[in-house]
Structure 1
């Protein structure tokens, strides 16, 4: 039994800065193609109130809120002056049913030195391993009669996650996460290598990653489909795409941005304490 699942999640974001701080929150999308269909996307909204406290007649009212309202909301946030560095990890992995694994991963890091200047580092790794060749149509799980296309033509100013699946017993996941962590893990790879590529002996399975002036691109190509990640700081785009046309495929795109913050001095902590005390006294 064949299913065609296509999901898209997007958020309108401002252009990316050096630390790609335009990722406003962690987002995840995925599809499991077997005997179930994908659930429709739910728009972001604020729950206004319950129409009634009676369980039998309770109805949740939802009201869409615009940017003009959200802009006045208060809360905790990280200002640009607080960010002292970042570590960006990107990884794509494809496991075929015959045991072949295609992998592309990389890390971009930037920290401030004693002079206040940003010092960047980069590492990349690409590999195709395992299996018994990986070029037989049956062994790879590829289905020549299945198609998963169209996702490449979608352009979003912000974060887009697209999963297209045609086949059975497939698992595909796109995930993007932003975190504040001073002890971020750096993925294994060749230091100071802005790009890496790998393929099997026949060239039917390829893995590649590149860091360039125009952004970051990760791509896996197999007989059963395609997995890509594209980050373009110039126009504020982060795109994750999965296209699976086959059976028993295990695919994942993952992006993690770890923002490092400066330690607050004792005098700054005292100033904040006095400010909060004054604010509380006015209530």
Structure 2
């Protein structure tokens, strides 16, 4: 059975996949696979951009979304007469049988099913099944990917990579057929500044621990720019401790359960000289 595999380290946010999907489906009637996609309001393939952190510690992440063609698809459970799973793993909505079935939109935990108001029916990514059945090896979105970030093929051919990949919303239990490699994790980034010397602090020891249990996660030294980056962190609360001879120890807390944290200027004070 087929799977989609995104390598997010290779995605540069070009949106070629998103544009190719629009080009293939807007204004084109591919019955019985799908009726035309509207010009606006629907993205059967969509690349979301997320700007993380703050200047000067910034990362830009790209996350493509589409129908996950789930093995335990909630849309099929809601309307088995209108939605079916092909032998190759693709899930299709029958545009005739799905007429007026607005409940299908709410059935998808990924928000991948859209309501076409003009046609009065739910629509989504078809995996370009019409092209595959016409001899194409891959859907338009995959064909348009210029970096090799998006691939499509037999599950067994990707077995090694799938063992390291993740899916979206695993808690939904839908067993998706869209997988992601190198999905970004949280980060904490700081720049240590000597307030009195008006310069960055190089070579300070920065220890990161989990807030609960005080487990040490990593120990770094600030670089020539006074920076320390802790990357690939699990969403959690952390404690950070900074030490360097001649300076007062500094401790602070960070919560990255919802978003990354960055401090452009963390003030480090020298040990007072006794008079």
Higher strand share: 1
- TM value normalised by structure 2: 0.22
Larger radius of gyration: 2
